[in-house]
Structure 1
Amino acid sequence: MKGGVWRSGEAEREQKTNAELAHLDRGKHAKMQSLQDQDSLIPQPRGNLPKVCAVVLAAITTGGIVMLSPETLFGWVAMVILILTLGPLLNGVFLLAEEMLHHSNTRYQGRGLLSHVLPACGLGGKTLLAAGLACLLLYLAGNPLPHKGQCWKLLLLCSVLYVLLKSLGVLGLSEVEVSEICEERKMNVAHGLAWSFYLGYLRLVLPYLETSIAEFRATHRAGGPNWGRGSKKLFILIPLNANITHKLEEEDENICFYDNLPNKEIDRAGVRGRVYKHSVYKVLDEHGKAHVFVGEYATPLLTLYNMSQESSAGFGESERRHQVLLFYRTLQDILEHSLDCRNRYRLILLNDEHDDDPHFLSKAILRHLQQQEKEEFCVPPPPQQVKRHPFRNLLNTRALNGEWHCTDPMSREPTLMFSMEQPQPLMEPVEDTDPYHAQR
């Protein structure tokens, strides 16, 4: 009877632990599914595949030339390098003439010719060094063409035609190359907006968010909804179409305004006591239960949307969507590395393909609230199965309302015990049988 009660308690604890582990696994699966959905939308930084293909093709081509005609290899290599470098150098000379005659004061403010103007025109050290080495190699290897004058005629003709095609835009950068340069050098509109949103707003208010929520809960404790673990972060909504409303309840009737958090006043840019605030909303689930969250749209998206409506901005819908995705990726990277904002926010990317669902916004917020609860769910370690002596179970049981219950604490903190006695030799094996089983 007593052993059965103890074993039933162990079974209940084990069953509870298994349920908690299953609950955590479902939360991890939901989070992984959400991350996979976002990864399918967010453009990742471009890799080095074109460079690898170029190196492989150059190695194969060079190997073939070495096998066919190794004696003219260095001459051909030198001539090709000159063809590829003399054209950009000649184009750089023309750009340098334009910059020095008309823009030296306004664009460079008297800065040095070698340090700023020449590299800006494409006359950098790498190009000049490559052309110089190619000239030296061609001089040492000799003319690879049968006639001496053909080599210089070819070099001159290629350089002139390169400048002509370059000026006409035939040899200009492709859209992919321009996009890659802008992303690498952080020159996109989205990069500037993301950094402005972080430095001018999030970094100032997020460190005080927990304090504001604690003050709000203290004044709204009576009759207010319960705040879950996922409700203590700022939900930043980022729709892909950048078309946001100023009131969340106009977007989804399952969301209603609750109240504002206490104002935060910060002296900023000459304004004394500039007010920053957050709004608290209630969202209803499918069972009609209210959940609270602190949320807002990312205000820089208004700039992206308004730019796409202005023809002079040259900002179409496709470019706007791309900039929104870059804004999300840049802001996520900034916040992940910010100690001031860590664990105080949650970015929610809203796909505009679900416009036909009137409750898409509330469903997305509830899904993130549930994921937040599961991510922060604390799972205790599984109980260790320890073999107990039968007489020890008798000593650790007591009668309560006519029934025997185990009083041995299962979660007692470990203690360190010392013995002052001298060490004793090992005892002989002792028969250890259960007297209750023996009587049966």
Structure 2
Amino acid sequence: MDALIPRPRGALPRVCAVALAAMTAGSVVCLSPDRLFGWVAVVILILTLGPLLHGLCLAAEEVLNHSNTRYRGQRLLSRVLPACGFGGKTLLAAGLAGLLLYLAGPPLPHTEQCWKLLVLTSTLYALFKSLGVLGPSEVEVSDICEGRKMNAAHGLAWSFYLGYLRLVLPRLEDSIRAFCVTRKAFRGRGSRRLLILIPLNANISHKLEEEDDNIHFFDNLPNNEIDRAGIRGRVYKHSVYRVLDEHGKDHECVVEYATPLLTLYSMSQESSAGFGEPERRQQVLLFYRTLQEILERSLECRNRYKLILVNDEHEDDPHLLSKAILRHLQQQEREEFCITPPPQQELFNPFALMSSSPPSAPPMNGDCHLPEPMSREPTLMFSMEGPQPLKEAVEDTDHY
């Protein structure tokens, strides 16, 4: 599954840009070293004046039509202009480039040619930027949305955690314990977690037995009633299923789909949402990655869940779902229990220290009840007494 989940984008584009700029600057130094600083200043001015002119075009729209609705009448300099691209870094770069051009002089023989190049290039940049010709690529938009947590998957993952998992997972163990009092189930410790299914195609069936006939509904856990958002005693419940393996043995587990995937699937079916099938698959993977990162940092949910990413897009196996569940159950059993047998503990036999048994001693034919080995888990013991000095050796040998 690691090959399916997209990793966060790194700094390779920045490294490539720095290397390309270094090679270009080196080539310019070799060809015409006397005009290097002038050309650098002109290029920086072109690259900064263009975005500033485009920011003026954006500021005209924001100030005239959206100053009250989007910015609540806040000041022009403190809120509107920074939102339009008038950042401190851009203004500082433009100022330093202007100072460098003044000190180094224009690189072209005629000063008018240099200013014509600056004005014309900056104006055309603002024009093409407004028309979308120089707009950000899909990779840039995706990088911005992932970096600023602006994807639909991020919002759905946080909503699923804050509105559901953080409330029910701390109560899951008590619900299973109360369920086992009345019903004989959950023979393995690995099955006492909430298994959350995340299919890649986001197509969720409301009944698991309709997807796989090796999965059968068993019963519901006791309801958890929580006061939530003005609703007194809002009910949260989980369903217990029995999953059959290849030998016909059943395994009980608490399993359910991630309900936010219903939203992603419904959005992909609505043309007005602008959310196609490729975008849906990408959002499902981001949802899985984001939810996994959230739950790994949550102390309330630790060791109480298991995310199962089901790659069912190109699979025709009718038992794909049950195999995925059983594979994770077996993995949890191997993680929680020692595979090799524990070391044998020596039993204390008081009669083994005696060379011969007295007449009144119990028979040594194995019928006596020997004390059992210690089975309690080791615990830390702290002494409340202060540190004591070491005692000196005392000679107690009698000399004759």
Structure-2-length-normalised TM-score: 0.87
Specify which of 43, 55, 66 is matched with residue 103 of structure 1.
Answer: 66
Matched, 1:319 2:279: yes
Distance change (3 Å), C-alpha of 1:412 and 1:311? closer
Asked if 1:167 corresponds to 2:115, the answer is no
Q: Is 1:378 equivalent to 2:338 in the alignment?
A: yes
Matches within 5 A, 1:12-27: none
Instruction: Pick the aligned partner of 2:246 from 268, 286, 311.
Output: 286
Whether the 8 Å CA contact 1:397–1:408 is kept in 2: the answer is no
Structure 1 position 115 matched with structure 2 position 75: no
1:254 matched to 2:211? The reply is: no
Residues 200, 313 of structure 2: 8 Å contact kept: no
Segments ≥4 residues shifted beyond 3 Å: 378-384, 393-402, 407-414, 420-424
CA distance in 2, matches of 1:64, 1:299: 57
Contact 1:225 / 1:290 at 8 angstroms: preserved in 2? no
Aligned to 2:195: 235
C-alpha deviations, 1:341-376, integer Å up to 9, x for none? 111000000001454111110010000000000001
Distance in 2 separating the partners of 1:237 and 1:342: 17
Once residues 107 and 325 of structure 2 are traced to their aligned partners in structure 1, the CA distance between those partners, rounded to angstroms, is: 70
Structure 2 counterpart of 1:21 = none
User: CA 1:141/1:244 → structure 2, altered by over 3 Å: closer, same or farther?
Assistant: same
Q: 2:321 corresponds to which residue?
A: 361
The farther-off stretch of 335-344 and 58-67 is 58-67
Mapping of residues 18-417 of structure 1, within 5 Å = 38-220=1-183, 224-378=184-338, 400-401=364-365
| Residue identity in the other structure for 2:312 | D
Range with greater deviation from structure 2 (61-70 or 112-121):
61-70
Aligned residue in 2 for 1:4: none
- 1:423 positional shift: 9.7
SS of the residue aligned with 1:39?
A: coil
**Contact 1:235–1:296 at 8 Å: present in 2 too?**
yes
Deviation at 1:166, TM superposition (A): 1.0
Match of 1:138, as an amino acid? L
Matched to 2:300, the amino acid is D
Q: Distance in 1 between matches of 2:396 and 2:375?
A: 28
One-letter amino acid of the counterpart of residue 318, structure 2? P
Cα drift, residue 256 of structure 1: 0.6
Partner of 1:258, secondary structure, is strand
Q: Distance in 2 between matches of 1:268 and 1:411?
A: 46
Mean Cα displacement is larger for which, 327-336 or 351-360?
A: 351-360
Q: Which moved more, 1:319-328 or 1:371-380?
A: 371-380
Q: CA deviation at 1:381?
A: 9.2
Indicate the structure with greater helix content: 1
Aligned CA distance change for structure 1 residues 370 and 383 (closer, same or farther; 3 Å) = closer
Greater relative contact order: 1 or 2 (C-alpha under 8 angstroms, separation 6 or more)?
Answer: 1
SS at 2:219 equivalent: strand
SS of the residue 2:144 aligns to: helix
SS at 1:46 equivalent = coil
| 5+ long unaligned stretches in structure 2 | 347-351, 358-362, 379-392
SS of aligned partner of 2:272 = helix
